[in-house]
Structure 1
Amino acid sequence: MTDTPAYTPPKVWTWDSESGGKFASINRPIAGPTHDKDLPVGKHPLQLHSLATPNGVKVTVMLEELLAAGYGADYDAWLINIQEGDQFSSGFVDVNPNSKIPALFDKQTGVRVFESGAILLYLAEKFRAFLPRDLAVRTETLNWLFWLQGSAPYLGGGFGHFYAYAPEKFEYPINRFAMEAKRQLDVLDQRLEDSEYLGGDDYSIADMATAPWYGALVKGLVYDAAEFLDVESYAHVNRWANDVMNRPAYRKGAMVNKAWGEPAGQLRERHDADDFKTQTWDKIKPADAD
């Protein structure tokens, strides 16, 4: 039992911009731009507008993996500060009407791509890389890509929100989403007991999509919930996470569009491979910056 009075929903819901916890200011119940502002355009064909959240990291890891493998996937990565409402600019909404990062524009083809899974699939098809051509293996890889796209909202918007970000802790939603997070970890653990990577023998976009969420979870990089969820018990997920997240291209991709943490690990914009040596925040931070 609890002393908290039961909540009775009103007949018609209305938006209270002051409620909703730490990230309430980045959401609203309508779509469209709030202000006119064009997006910057760099020299490369691929223009990425993003932030190093798990969904953003998926794409920068893919781009760095493509470059490491010798594909011509040169890109400009521009920082979208969601706390300041950059995602609601007219330029960003033109690329992603859903006002969520990441968003990609390919100058070479004139194609806009939004939703992180769609961006991974677009890049895999464009460069014919990290997505098997064999029908059966390709389908298994896509099974896990779409599994992640459907499952991650329960981890982030469900467990992560109520456990780490909600203005108050409530037992019911934390228990509900902790159960689901652990069920999902068990799904992954059983798969990875039988397979080196999610799609099969080869590293693919399914692994790139999943590691920034569930790999980061078991390595204690999100929500400070590793002990609470007993993540050490998922041995096969941990083996896979160490393998994927220690790849040099993954480590680079995780730095791009990052605006928090150790300054040496933040590459807020990325326009050239040498930026990892010369443009990290510890090297370019203005004297009056936070």
Structure 2
Amino acid sequence: MIDLYTWGTPNGHKIHIMLEETGLPYRIHKVDIGAKEQFSPEYVKINPNSKIPAIIDRDGPDGGPVTIFESGAILLYLAEKTGRFLPAEDEPRARVLEWLMFQMGNIGPMFGQCYHFRSSAPERIPYTIDRYTREVGRLYGVMDKRLSTGAYLGGEEFSIADIATWPWTKNPAAYDQDPEDFPHVKKWIKKISERPTVKRALRVLDA
């Protein structure tokens, strides 16, 4: 059994999707970041960085519990645990890993800042909004070029690179982007959104 500590953010949804895709048994522990529950002493013992998500796998590699934080690390751990969504062969594996790192190093930080300054910041700063909005558009363009040559980010198979990236990029309008400017991304977003596992993953916090 996997204990998942999470909330309804893109990083949380990554792990919801992965667990639904793999079929691993898990139970949800809601960490309300709006109420700052991520800073509670109990949660800091699980994730010293006070972010979501985090997991405790009660059936770890040595038979005992193992705790993991950082969504990318969790995806890698679950992929290796199940043998799914991460190719074993060197070159295909490298393609998936490079696009996973592209999400971690670019999509997450830039999209997060764009959304914050456009929608949540107490002061609207035109230069900052413009800077992050343009960078988000550039990153959508990088994805669109990649997806013009293959069905998924890592190649022809759905992988943890797609699972990591889709929750951040599924709504271009939230970042003042026109989906029609990125036709290959638009097709990819729709294809992933139609997966039954993804539909279930987006509802796991409803209970």
Matched residue, 2:92: 137
Which structure 2 residues correspond to residues 24-35 of structure 1 after superposition, within 5 A?
none
Q: After TM superposition, give the deviation of residue 64 of structure 1 in Å.
A: 0.3
Distance 1:251 1:148 in 2: 21
- Would you say how many aligned residue pairs link Structure 1 and Structure 2? 202
Once the two structures are TM-superposed, the CA of residue 233 in structure 1 deviates from its matched residue by 1.1
Structure 1 position 234 matched with structure 2 position 187: no
Q: In 2, distance between residues paired with 1:207 and 1:62?
A: 10
Secondary structure of the residue aligned to 1:104 is: strand
Aligned partner of 2:171 in structure 1 is 217
Q: For the residues of structure 2 that align with 1:173 and 1:65, how far apart are their CA atoms?
A: 37
The answer for the alignment partner of 1:11 in structure 2 is none
Q: 1:235: Cα distance to partner?
A: 0.2
CA contact (8 A) 1:52 1:255 kept: no
Shift of residue 114 of structure 1?
Answer: 0.4
Q: For residues 148-185 of structure 1, give each alpha carbon's deviation from its aligned partner in whole angstroms, at most 9, with x where no partner exists.
A: 001111111x2111111111222100111111100100
Q: Tell me the equivalent position of 1:153.
A: 109
After TM superposition, give the deviation of residue 111 of structure 1 in Å: 1.1
CA distance in 2, matches of 1:128, 1:90: 34
Structure 1 distance, partners of 2:97, 2:66, is 22
- What's the offset of the Cα at 1:231? 2.6
In structure 1, give the amino acid aligned to 2:181. S
TM-fit CA distance, 1:120: 0.5
Counterpart residue type for residue 85 of structure 2: F
Give the Cα separation in 2 of the matches to 1:105 and 1:137. Answer: 29
Look up the match of 1:7. Answer: none
Which whole-Å CA distance do the structure 2 matches of 1:83 and 1:234 have between them?
Answer: 33
Give 1:107 shift.
1.1
Q: Which runs of 5+ in 1 are unaligned?
A: 1-44, 68-72, 258-265, 268-290
Letter in 2 for 1:251: K
Q: Aligned letter for 1:53?
A: T
Determine whether 1:48 maps to 2:4.
yes
CA RMSD of the aligned region, Å? 1.1
1:199 aligns with 2:154: yes
1:123 is aligned to 2:78: yes
Q: TM-score when scaled to structure 1?
A: 0.68
Q: Partners of 1:201 and 1:93 in 2: how far apart?
A: 39
Matched, 1:249 2:203: no
Q: Secondary structure of the equivalent of 1:95?
A: coil
Q: In structure 2, what is the Cα distance between the partners aligned to 1:138 and 1:126? A: 15
Corresponding letter in the other structure for 2:109: P
Question: Which of the pair has the greater relative contact order for Cα pairs under 8 Å at 6+ separation?
Answer: 2
2:40 is matched with 89
What is the DSSP-based 3-state SS (H/G/I as helix, E as strand, rest coil) of the residue aligned with 2:148? helix
Identity of aligned residues (%): 41
Query: Which one has the largest radius of gyration?
Result: 1
Structure 2 unpaired stretches of 5+: none
Q: Matched residues in 1 for 2:123 and 2:35: separation?
A: 24
Match of 2:13 among 57, 63, 67: 57
1:106 aligns to 2:57 (yes or no): yes
Measured against aligned partners, the alpha-carbon deviations of 1:234-268 in whole angstroms (never above 9, x if no partner) come to 000000000011100011111122xxxxxxxx23x
Give the Å deviation of 1:106: 0.8
Shift of residue 191, structure 1, vs aligned partner: 0.2
Tell me by how many angstroms 1:92 deviates: 1.1
Q: Distance in 2 between matches of 1:82 and 1:103?
A: 13
